[in-house]
Amino acid sequence: MTDFQQTYGPWAVVTGASAGIGRACADDLAQRGLSLVLVARRDDRLQTLADDLAARHGTEARAVAADLATPEGLDAIEAATADLDVGLLVAAAGFGTSGRFVEADLGPELTMLDVNCRAVVRQAHHFGRRFATRGRGGLVLFGSIVGFQGTPFSAHYAATKAFIQTLAEGLHLELASAGVDVISSAPGPVATEFAEVADMQMGATVNPAQVARATLDGLGKRGTVYPGLLTKVLSGSLALLPRWGRARVMQQVMGGMTQHQRG
């Protein structure tokens, strides 16, 4: 048994597991020997992933099709894990929007708030309490480099990630004495379905597997990780600027990624 298994095993919950960073985290955890509860809306993808992980790594996996924007979806996760010794939550579910905020359809913006923030708070509270009682465990939350300053043309998405970053930083210290490790992963652009859903045109990106490995390797060692060389370069260059200066730079960056929306 590896140290990672001993600390966080035998079961991990991974939300957003059907694609992108969530799928990469599920694969990485399977390699580390953990059994998995895979959560996403698309049941067919979850079943395919569960079968694939079992074939390649011998991993036991349960698929839970759930919409995290709804109380019923969150209820389903808690019910499906009630009989399991869960020691790790990877809250990778989330999506983004882009463009001028006042021109956006409010419905998707509120759904994003529910998935990116409300669902994470409920899961962190539920599993964090279980882990504290257990005396060991880990919470993996996903922020973004856009969450460290205001980001025009993605203002609300960036605000949801600022919320997650602040939550993770507080819980990292608050839960340490209970034996619970908390980390925020703050990647830059990642090669996932995110850009298509958010209607952005990205250039250079980080591979999801890099994000997963760096994030899980950092758990228990640091409070925030900036996965991938591209992320480190981008976050490092922004860190040299005052907050208002970072917002100005992000205005130019996001303006370029969303220029096609304005013709």
For the annotated catalytic residues, the residue numbers are 157
Q: CA nearest 96: which of 10, 229, 231, 190?
A: 190
Q: CA nearest 187: which of 155, 146, 157?
A: 146
CB of 206 within 8 A of CB of 191?
A: yes
Q: Indicate the Cα dihedral angle 63, 67, 71, 73, nearest 10°.
A: -10
Q: Cα 208 to the chain's mean position, in Å?
A: 11
CB of 217 within 8 A of CB of 176?
A: no
